[in-house]
Amino acid sequence: MGSEFIRNFSIIAHIDHGKSTLADRMLEQTNTVTKREMREQVLDTMELERERGITIKMQPARMEYEHDGKAYVLNVIDTPGHIDFSYEVSRALKAVEGVILLVDSTQGVQAQTLTVLSMAREMGLSVIPALSKVDSNRARVEDVKKEVCELLGCSSSDIIETSGKTGAGVGILLQAIVTRIPHPSNTSARSLRSLIFDFSYSDHRGVIVYTRLFDGDVSKGDQLTFSASGTAFNVLEVGTFSPEQKPKESLSEGEIGYIVTGIKEPGMASVGDTLIETGKKTEALPGYMSPRPVVWASLYPESQDDFLLLRQALNRLRLSDSSFSF
């Protein structure tokens, strides 16, 4: 599939404005997740996220959508709304060309609405304004539309009314993603350059990097190198998120997906690094600022004999959380 049929976007909003619920309806209406498999907050996979009802980690998902007889791939990255997790948002925005700015029609524009919008504008992303919870008895649709118009300098007709509860307006929003968010730009570069925006760790498969391909393509068996650390590895598997990991033959320019590295040592992979073809002197992509810690804790083992075990546990945690340091 050519990059002209790919749309990469993120949903940004203040906390509890309905991002994950809206993403649920998108996955449902594009038949990415069947009604039988559907549950609330399907993209929130952490136990704590589901317990608290908030998004902590960004989560990508790939949807297939038909518009005017043409097949498109829509890659969405659901993001947290809480200010403490704004680093997750900044990383997600580096991997997309546009955003849906979601505003709760019962609350209006809030503090984090301004923060995430500022991030999107700094990166030059296309913005689609949308209202959530328009089916609520407490909805102030017209008043909140005026707030959004003043904030963005747009007209009220540019704002899409949606309900994550009923699914109203989601079809119109999907059409707007195709028509109002630009496709990934084509480049003349022949060598692979792929930005790592997150990663996870598996005892069996090692580090699994979540990545956006800006140039080139990658397939199972290719040899790649982390630009920053210089560590080379053979690609064990590539695939996309649907929203669970789904293996593919290859990933091409403009796509968002995952790469299984097999690496089981901490410090080799880092968020913001660029994957390049081994043996080629390819210029790295601009990365990310280092995360700013917001929680500090002192940890001690009950016994000095367990100090090595504690260090091993912390190293393993660092393999799955790029913002963690010790």
Residue 307 in tokens = 């100090």
Other beta carbons less than 10 A from residue 118's beta carbon: 10
Cα separation values, 173 from 16, 40, 64, 131, Å: 19, 20, 14, 11
**How far is Cα 214 from Cα 156, in angstroms, rounded to an integer?**
34
Q: Over range 224-239, report the average pLDDT.
A: 93
Q: Over range 275-286, report the average pLDDT.
A: 88
Helix (H) / strand (E) containing 111: helix 111-122
- Residues 160, 27 share a domain: yes
- Identify whether 286 is part of a domain: no
Q: What is the pLDDT of residue 88?
A: 62
Q: What is the pLDDT of residue 170?
A: 96
pLDDT classification of 300: cutoffs 50, 70, 90: confident
CATH number at residue 54: 3.40.50.300
**How far is Cα 278 from Cα 218, in angstroms, rounded to an integer?**
12
Long-range contacts of 163-166 (CB under 8 A, 24+ apart): 163/132, 163/133, 163/134, 163/135, 164/18, 164/21, 164/22, 164/24, 164/25, 164/132, 164/133, 165/21, 165/133, 165/135, 166/135
Higher pLDDT, 71 or 89: 71
| Residue 137 burial by Cβ neighbours in a 10 Å radius (0-12, 13-18, 19+) | exposed
Residue 94 in tokens = 């580096």
- Residues 157, 83 share a domain: yes
- Identify whether 47 is part of a domain: yes
Please state the domain count of the chain.
2
**Interval 25-68: pLDDT, tens:** 898 899 887 666 655 555 544 444 444 444 445 678 899 999 99
Q: Over range 182-202, report the average pLDDT.
A: 83
Q: What is the pLDDT of residue 82?
A: 47
pLDDT, the chain, mean: 85
- Residues 197, 176 share a domain: no
- Residues 142, 233 share a domain: no
- Identify whether 323 is part of a domain: no
Q: Over range 219-229, report the average pLDDT.
A: 93
Q: Is 86's pLDDT higher than 60?
A: no
Strand order in the sheet with 160-161: 59-67, 70-78, 6-13, 98-104, 126-132, 160-161
Q: Is 81's pLDDT higher than 80?
A: no
Q: What is the pLDDT of residue 197?
A: 85
